Structure 1
Amino acid sequence: MTARPRGRSLRTRLLLFVTATLVAVCAAMAGTTAYLQRASLMSELDARVGDEVARSLGGAEPHPDDRTGLSFLTENGHPAGMLAARLDADGGVVSAAVVRRDAPLRNLTADQRAALRGIATDGSEHTRTVPGLGVYRIAAARSGDVRVLAGLPMGDVRDTIGALVAAEAAVAAAGLVVAGGLCAMVIRRQLRPLGRVAATAAAVTRIPLDHGEVTGLTRVPVRDADSGSEAGQVAAALNRMIDHVETSLAERQRSEERMRRFLADASHELRTPLASIAGYAELMNRGTDRVEPVLAWRTVSAESARMTGLVEDLLLLARLDGGRPLERAEVDLAAVAAEAVWQARASDDGHHHWRLALHLDEVPALVVGDRTRLQQALANLLANARTHTPAGTTVEVEVEAARERCVVRVRDDGPGIPPELLPTVFDPFTRAGSSRTRPPGTTGGSGLGLTVTAAVVSAHGGAIDVASTPGRTEFTVRLPAADTASARHPSTSGHALH
């Protein structure tokens, strides 16, 4: 049995918070109303008490010699329940009685008179509890030697306040029930998208992401990803995170697939020269006359050189991919291009036409980088053109310089690169098809030349792209220019090397 998580849910906490807030508001409103109502009623009662005291004093003044008489209470107009008393000079109660409806006055007992002692005759109101009669609002006044006290019961005020509080409590309870129900509905409706967000997150966590192809991850429905609400913002953020995860996983899978293909191609490329070396070495060990020693050694040397070049290219790619720093020095791309063209023409034996065009009207073609690697990258582009174009093809290298960047273009008028090959032309071990023919007797490269070139250009902060149509193929290398503010180079625009 699965244990239920401890603690209250967000919906319950919100409902409790809203309920507590409503209770506090209702209590504050009820308390304020009761306080104001009581203050109003007490003010009115105090005014009546003051009137009764003044009336009683006015009735007692004509009889200054009668220190104990309460004849003024026999006058009409005194409310039932009113009590009155005659006081001595020390504030003691000489006589006291209470007015009854349609009945004679009833004198107060000793305990009741004791509750009236100590009241100053300054007209101020006091609240006293009279045993057997209840709570009274009392005031006392004097005129010469005449001192009287009058009081009215507070029962009506207390009953009114009690009824008001009871009515407010009933209304508040009903309002809380209705408001609580509405709040519960609103909170449930507002938090429903969060429930779907949680369900989506739980569904994603159940998918194995550590292996296999991961596609079609569950997303929060679009209707719940409205950025106008907090829940919608959470849903939209979760969808973006799932998109990022899916994209990252797809990229990881593509990277792993490229790595597997790379390792398979590298193994194949290394196996071929190794097989040739092993075969010729075995024939030489047997001392057979079927193969000449000179030819065998030449073959072994050629295959060894081929394998060495492949391994060096692989190591260079690994270093560049690992972010190994290159040498940093000022390099003249025009000189590098001229040297690369001369070397390409020397190794071509006249099968192609080689041209060099320099456009350096404003600034020299200076970049900051590794001269050896830049020369290798340009040599790879020229070797690619020489290997994959027929005899008679014209290959032109063009160098342009500007204040912000330098551009090197290598173009040829060969048959072009097949359109389906263009997206992967810089991938490792990519080889052209039959549309880019090779000269007789050539074996082609290992398929890493363009990959190395792209890696070298990227390591120098540049970019390389290719455009190809039948009769025109052009590789364009763009590199950031070095700071040439203090050095100007003479214009050599239009110079060409044949």
Structure 2
Amino acid sequence: MSSSRRPEPGSRRPEPGLGPRRRWRPADWTPRRRWRLADWTLRRRLLAQTVLLLAVLILVVGVVSELLLREFLIDRFDAQLLAANDRSSIAQNEPPPHAENGPGPVFLQARGQGVGTLGAEVVNGRATAAAIIGTSGQPELIPTAEAAALAAVPVDGRVHNVDVGDQAYRVIATATPRGTNITGLPLSQVDDILWQLGVILAVVALVGLVAAGVAGAALVGAALRPLRRVAATASRVAELPLARGEVALAERVPDVDTNPHTEVGQVGAALNRMLGHIAGALAARHESETRVRRFVADASHELRTPLAAIRGYAELTRRGRDDLPDDVAFAMGRVESESKRMTALVEDLLLLARLDAGRQVVHEPVDLARLLADAVADAHAAGPDHRWLLRLPDEPLTALGDPNQLHQVVANLLTNARTHTPAGTTVTAALAAHGPHAAEVTVTDDGPGIPPRLLPEVFERFARGDSSRSRAAGSTGLGLSIVAAVVAAHHGTVQVRSRPGQTVFTVVLPLHPGEPGAPRPGGGLTRGRG
């Protein structure tokens, strides 16, 4: 029998992802977690790194382009300035007609001077006349305070930068018999060109980054698609019930994703090899478990007959026990007692072997209230030195299952409480509804409790407690393991929590979907004697 699950025809598998999908939770998308690099997916990291690298490249290209263009423009600008200075020198020696009527120096009105050209005369360290050509083509005087900076321009035949008011100029000074003539051009022309280029580069870069992000997302998604298929295969394997039973581990990475020449193919091939080893190990484990279960079942079945014979012969000696020596009578009594104990152990092992083999459980309506009441009555008879309490609901609760096995569940829990607690301990058995479709059976005692180190293995077979929960009464160590196996066979759950003064075993069983069972024997609280 295979326990691997396959999708039903017509059902849709979840889209493969880079890991098992889980339901979205608001706590998973807090701003703090959203920007933690450790929580980013590989796709997001690759996309972010690609866009960031492209942005840095564009920034470097833009800065270098701006610097190179500025040098180029400055060189051309200086050439224009030298040409304007030559025109000024010619106009200084040959003034143009009517030049004396305009404001500013005479040479500023030379033919060919463009808008924004600056001209100034420096005499005795003072700028006596400074003007610029306005948009109307006529010179406009510069205030004396702003023109004062022009007086400090050295006469060395080189171009210098000077701030006149809120404008930056490239100027050159030429010596004359009267003093110094200064010619300049505004740098705003160069700055305007550089700003326009910067805006164009920024817009183009932004559009390019967006386009690169969209295209990169598609390309990275396509590149990671084989990895998602590999992860999907691993996720499907992780969802298989591999703990017990026969497992048909047929999931494998597709051949297209096992190319040894690619990184993803190497991962896929390694995963397939690992799955092959796991499938072989699971098959070997199942075969070994099957042989062990068959041996336990066969041995238990074969031991029942000789044990019954031993017990019968031991009981037969009771008829003539008065004629037997005391030591022989005592020995036969011990044989009878141990045969009973061994018979119980064999019966428990046989039941566990049948449950492990997955034998079909008898399903019939079981009145849980009546079952609990009968089990508490039996426990009171077996342990009169304990105080037994029974709590039942007002409404009947009916489960669907094997009445004998469910009775054994409650009986084992009560026996466990009686065996491992001192006389006078109060043991409470309670039944209550657990939601609309389940019933909850609890067995609580106020004994010394279970040591914390034993709680994880309390339902294991042959689990032993310490001296406070010893096997002095002949415990086989299989009672709680039978409880867990029977409850699991009935699609229920069993849990335990314990502390000094309170140990609670909780069994949850699904209710019978049909009509409720027979009326239970009484409601509310029933207190036993003891």
TM bracket (short chain): 0.3 to 0.5
TM-score (norm 1): 0.47
TM-score (norm 2): 0.45
